[in-house]
Structure 1
Amino acid sequence: MARDELTQKPPGLSRREVLNAGLSLGVVGLPIRWRPFLPGRDSTPPAVPAFAYFSDTHVSLKRNVAECRALMEEIEGVVRPSLAINGGDVVDYGWKGEYDSYDSVLSGLPFRTHHIPGNHDVRWAGLGLKIFSERVGAPYRSFDWEGCHFALLDSTVPLSHWGHFESEMLRWLEDDLDRVGRRTPVFLATHHWVGRDQVMADNESALRKVIEPYNVKIVLTGHGHNDLLWRWDGFLCTMNKGLYQGSYQKVEVDRESGEIRLYRRTLEKPQLRLLAAVNLASDREKRKVWHVSPSEYEAGAPLTAPPDASEFRWNAGNWKPIESRSLGTEGLSPGVHLLSLRAGQEGQAESFPIRVNSKSAFFRSRWERKLSGGVMSHLLIAEGSLFVSAMDGAVYRLRASDGALEWRAKTGGYCHSSPRICAGTLVVGSADGFVYGLDPKDGAVLWKHPTQGPMYGSAAFARGVAAIGGGDGRIYGIEPKTGKETWRFELPPGDTAFVQSPAAADGERFYFGSWDKHLYALDALTGKQLWRRLCTQSTFAFSPAIGGPAVAQNRVLVPANGNELYCFDAASGEPLWKAASPGDKFGYSGPQIDGGRVFIGCLGDKGEVRCVSLEEGKELWAAATGQVIYDSTPAVSEGIVSVGSVSGALWGIDAASGAIVGSFQFPTGHFLSSPAMDGRAVYAATYSDWVMRLDFS
């Protein structure tokens, strides 16, 4: 039977008989791919209170609805939980219709389900965390139950699949755990896993430092679609396959016996099996104090590991055995590297930031400043200052010469949007649904323009208008001095009609890439559509939406995620050429035009940066950094191209030849932002919360 054909309940069958026949009363019309396990129902209260944990429901408009509903009904009958927790990837694309489908999964159940977001809930969703919060609850929060404390964390990076614990949330978690004290049993939930050999959340070590003093019993994770159990610095961690794949867990809190019992159900073994039992009382052994001193070394100099550590790794590399107490720093680039140590896979673990210097370094740090949040935006150099927007909603003006703070303003949501100065006003969008006009001299809010969704995009300026797009499917033309809306352009309605990348302008027209697969050209004065061009024959996921457009010499360029770099005539929209990369793919990094050349990062394991001709798209050179490049758009100045790798490395590449001339390692944190250059200075910031100026000779 086709998936969209209706399935009717045969007359006279009981609810259990219907489920065992592969149907669900909760989701009429959708067959499931396997049978739930349904023993006889027991209406008596459970002797030991329990909650259910599952994750990765991935409910779409039709897929996985019946499977998840069947399992939820099984959970109701078998686990009989007081509550449940969904560990993220609640829906597949974050669309309203998917949340409507998910409502039917939970409908009528006698227990509350708490939710945390996963990357699928925020990556392709115009409304992202806004609709998540409206439909299933705040992205992070805490509550108490049966004498235990639950901290539900948001590990997502907006519009991305990476994991990260934003500093603002970690500060909240510190206060939250301090309030409950060190004896209260704590359950932690995060979509992206922690404590495994493959690092998924870049700053998991920062989370570990926050929770280490507390009585954390189980860390509940998802994302990996595997049924796993492991320990991280002594903390018990668990992961399930997706609920639609037949996996969930039961957790009992037995105060009479003084223990917590963890059970798992899988598709292959549908009867609950005991996985682990842990004491309710704090039973963490007193930790030995590990020191690595000093914290700064010349490249190649050895450092001494603590005697109880048996394994080490640099950054997110592979774990290696410590064969002598001396660990080398050979091969490490200048910058700040994370040294992680552990006493075996399940033993004590610690991490130490280690600065490596080199007398022959290409990049030299001029100044460094810690911000209050990570950075995903494009940095701006103007008026002798550096302007930076951060993921805690802060906007900074720092003196370019020494990094001194000139002012700090705060919006009501995270700032994926980059600051732009338009006719004397600093314009920036915020996830709180407003476009802000700030006085660039002191950061005072001059105006706030309301929209209907998070404002991901960044403004461009032409003919007295600042134009900016966002998650609500609209592009706003705003008068920069007053904040008055001069025009509004509505993208054709659809779940994927939204803008996340910076706009481009050429004095007469604005250009926007959209998740509806099109590049748009709008008249700067009126907002009228002049032309639009389809940039992929595939699904919306291959849209020209992440790497923003760039315009020069009457040509507008935009990358699409299907490994295509398009060049159109700026006035007419006529296609001029289309290029494909033979190695890593075009699509995420935006193009940077300098004279007759175009520089662009490519997505893939080689970490390639490419230079093509503006005239015909012919490849001039390719440079392989060896580290994945994601959203970072190159900057170019004084014959040097700079770009960031996700791993935190800033690269310097000779613009003429493509030779890699140097790199610098930022402290731990994804590098998803785009650097700015001025003369022989590079300004860059990452999810580490650090912003730096690096000079080169």
Structure 2
Amino acid sequence: MIMRMPRSLALSSWCLRVLVVHVFAAVAAGQSFRFVHTSDTHVNPHRTENSNADRNARLFREISALGPKPALAINTGDVVEVGSPIEYGILREKLAAMAVAYYHTPGNHDVRWNPLGKEGFVKGVGQPLYQHIEHDGVHFFLLDSTVLLEHWGHISQQQLDWLEGELKKIGTEAPVILAFHHWVGREKVQIDNERELIELVDPYNVVLWLQGHGHSDLLWQINGVPAIMQKGLYQGSYSVIDIEKDKLTITRRSLRDPKKGDELVRDKSIPATEEVVWTKVGEFPLKRVRGEPFARGNRESESGLAAQWRTPLNAAVQSRLVRTGDAVYVTTMAGELVCLEPSNGSIRWRHKTGDSIFSAACIGDGVAYIGSADHNVYAVSCADGSELWRFKTGGAVLAGAAVAKGTVCIGSADTSIYGLDARTGSMKWKVQGGNLFQSQAATDGERFFVGGWDNYFRCIDAESGA
């Protein structure tokens, strides 16, 4: 197998979002191959016998010994339990038992409680957030359905744009397999923009959807295309998919469980028996057979209310809007601070950072202060969007700032609270915490008030940091 990566990309950087991997098998094009779908490995901090990591390792060895040997395996998220470096370290130890190329998508457990957010996943597994893998003419698209600090799912506009571009390159005939963590196309919506994703891929030859999150062994259809979900690998389940010239065959490995049914049970427990059951899930064509078009809800509001204006930002907004003076300020998950005209929504200016902006801007004396997941705090001129200064912290800056007595107070995922000179950006003081900071700081003009994930609420003097 050969992996090709542009020189400008580095796996250690959170900025690495996309990797196109060409996997060349030792068989002629058009011949059969197989791959494995696993999900929800949930590696926790325990190394004891029968821990999740131990159970996963047994199945890593089993998957590696399958005959014929799989060309690759795909894990659809919740790779670890809370995203800690210890858990990722244990995962890497156990992966020594895996002799098959193994690709991961992030799940909510990987990023939701991780002090480094999505950066922690990239560093932990050594892979990007989303990627394109091609094997013997079949194209696998692994997507990131996670949302920072949230349980629910969303496919970012950047990903949708990237996916559309990649699909156009391969055309409408090549078989496509989509894999990500949160399910789509069934009850209990998990991805808020599932409709946009499904409509985007509808013109292409999508032959299989791989999902996780629900801890159930299920098969359903999306626009006539099979979709499968697995229980957690530690629960004894994975699927073997055999690709032949004109069809794919899905066979599921599971443990006999009297509670098992065809419903979405979301049961994370380990089955009481170790009796292995192999079940043929079905045979499906490698040329898509179109079914009923997907229809769930409407994009437009059904309330009858009409917006006075709408401005496309081409990215999700996870923060609140700020109206001050004669301008509206909004931050986006594409890493932009955007200044809008309140009367008609026209964009006055945009300021681009290196990664997502989770919190709202703090406006004071004609300056907008923002933090970015690129580890930096920025001061931006409200007049024209020009950068006045930036200060680099040791982690993603998900929190919002407050300003008092010429000091900008803001917390970072590096577990520190910073007091920065509002005019120059130089550090005046630093307060050490015990976990990441997500919330916006507050002030009474003399002191700052900051809550953190270490379960402490702090009151800090604006001038001294005491």
TM-score bin (small chain) = 0.7 to 0.9
Q: Which residue identity does 1:375 align to in structure 2?
A: V
Matched residues in 1 for 2:385 and 2:439: separation? 24
Name the counterpart of 1:459. 401
**2:1 is the counterpart of 1:55:** no
**2:389 is the counterpart of 1:384:** no
Task: Choose from 242, 246, 250 the match for 1:252.
Answer: 242
Matched residues in 2 for 1:207 and 1:111: separation? 29
Q: Which residue identity does 1:412 align to in structure 2?
A: G
Once the two structures are superposed, residues 307-330 of structure 1 have per-residue CA deviations (whole angstroms, 9 ceiling, x without a partner) of xxxxxxxxxxxxxxxxxxxxxxxx
Task: Choose from 405, 417, 438 the match for 1:475.
Answer: 417
Matched residues in 2 for 1:430 and 1:262: separation? 43
**2:458 is the counterpart of 1:513:** no
Name the counterpart of 2:278. 272
Once the two structures are superposed, residues 27-63 of structure 1 have per-residue CA deviations (whole angstroms, 9 ceiling, x without a partner) of xxxxxxxxxxxxxxxxxx9x94211111111111014
**How is 1:121-136 mapped onto 2 (pairs within 5 angstroms)?**
121-136=110-125
**How is 1:160-559 mapped onto 2 (pairs within 5 angstroms)?**
160-255=150-245, 258-268=246-256, 270-280=276-286, 282-285=287-290, 347-350=292-295, 352-356=298-302, 358=304, 365-492=307-434, 497-528=435-466
59-68 or 100-109, larger mean C-alpha shift: 100-109
Q: Which residue identity does 1:235 align to in structure 2?
A: V
TM-score scaled by length of structure 2: 0.85
How far the C-alpha of 1:445 sits from its partner, in A, is 1.8
Once the two structures are superposed, residues 411-447 of structure 1 have per-residue CA deviations (whole angstroms, 9 ceiling, x without a partner) of 1111112111234321111111111211111111222
**2:103 is the counterpart of 1:114:** yes
CA contact (8 A) 1:372 1:394 kept: no
Task: Choose from 54, 73, 91 the match for 2:61.
Answer: 73
Task: Choose from 64, 76, 83 the match for 2:52.
Answer: 64
Q: Which residue identity does 2:75 align to in structure 1?
A: N
Unaligned runs of 5+ in 2: 1-26, 257-274
CA contact (8 A) 2:356 2:372 kept: yes
Secondary structure (helix, strand or coil) at the match of 1:78 reads coil
Once the two structures are superposed, residues 247-296 of structure 1 have per-residue CA deviations (whole angstroms, 9 ceiling, x without a partner) of 111111223xx22111111111624322122222x2334xxxxxxxxxxx
Matched residues in 2 for 1:417 and 1:443: separation? 17
C-alpha RMSD of the superposition: 1.8
Q: Which residue identity does 1:349 align to in structure 2?
A: F
CA contact (8 A) 1:130 1:453 kept: no
Matched residues in 2 for 1:523 and 1:77: separation? 62
Higher strand fraction (1 or 2): 1
Aligned-residue identity in percent:
38
Q: Which residue identity does 1:69 align to in structure 2?
A: A
How far the C-alpha of 1:156 sits from its partner, in A, is 0.6
How far the C-alpha of 1:109 sits from its partner, in A, is 2.4
CA contact (8 A) 2:209 2:226 kept: yes
Matched residues in 2 for 1:355 and 1:128: separation? 32
Name the counterpart of 1:340. none
CA contact (8 A) 1:225 1:239 kept: yes
CA contact (8 A) 1:219 1:236 kept: yes
How far the C-alpha of 1:459 sits from its partner, in A, is 0.2
CA contact (8 A) 1:82 1:112 kept: yes
CA contact (8 A) 1:192 1:201 kept: yes
Question: 1:111 and 1:202, CA in 2 relative to 1: closer, same or farther beyond 3 A?
Answer: same
Matched residues in 1 for 2:394 and 2:225: separation? 42
Q: Which residue identity does 1:209 align to in structure 2?
A: E
Number of aligned residue pairs = 412
Once the two structures are superposed, residues 81-119 of structure 1 have per-residue CA deviations (whole angstroms, 9 ceiling, x without a partner) of 221111100111111111011112211422221111100
50-59 or 442-451, larger mean C-alpha shift: 442-451
Matched residues in 1 for 2:439 and 2:381: separation? 23
Q: Which residue identity does 2:437 align to in structure 1?
A: V
Matched residues in 2 for 1:222 and 1:87: separation? 6
**2:134 is the counterpart of 1:144:** yes
Once the two structures are superposed, residues 486-541 of structure 1 have per-residue CA deviations (whole angstroms, 9 ceiling, x without a partner) of 2222213xxxx11111111111211111111111111211222xxxxxxxxxxxxx
Secondary structure (helix, strand or coil) at the match of 1:261 reads strand
Task: Choose from 75, 86, 89 the match for 1:100.
Answer: 89
Secondary structure (helix, strand or coil) at the match of 1:104 reads helix
Once the two structures are superposed, residues 333-376 of structure 1 have per-residue CA deviations (whole angstroms, 9 ceiling, x without a partner) of xxxxxxxxxxxxx6222454345465xx7xx6332222211111
Secondary structure (helix, strand or coil) at the match of 1:265 reads strand
Name the counterpart of 1:676. none
Secondary structure (helix, strand or coil) at the match of 2:94 reads helix
Once the two structures are superposed, residues 198-248 of structure 1 have per-residue CA deviations (whole angstroms, 9 ceiling, x without a partner) of 211111000011110111111100000000000011121000111111111
TM-score scaled by length of structure 1: 0.57
Q: Which has the higher contact order (CA 8 A, sep 6+)?
A: 2
Matched residues in 2 for 1:272 and 1:60: separation? 27
Matched residues in 1 for 2:464 and 2:321: separation? 29
CA contact (8 A) 1:423 1:464 kept: no
Q: Which residue identity does 2:33 align to in structure 1?
A: P
Matched residues in 2 for 1:61 and 1:417: separation? 31
CA contact (8 A) 1:409 1:444 kept: yes
How far the C-alpha of 1:73 sits from its partner, in A, is 1.1
Q: Which residue identity does 2:88 align to in structure 1?
A: Y
Matched residues in 1 for 2:248 and 2:309: separation? 50
* Bigger radius of gyration among the two: 1
CA contact (8 A) 1:229 1:238 kept: yes
Unaligned runs of 5+ in 1: 1-44, 286-345, 529-697
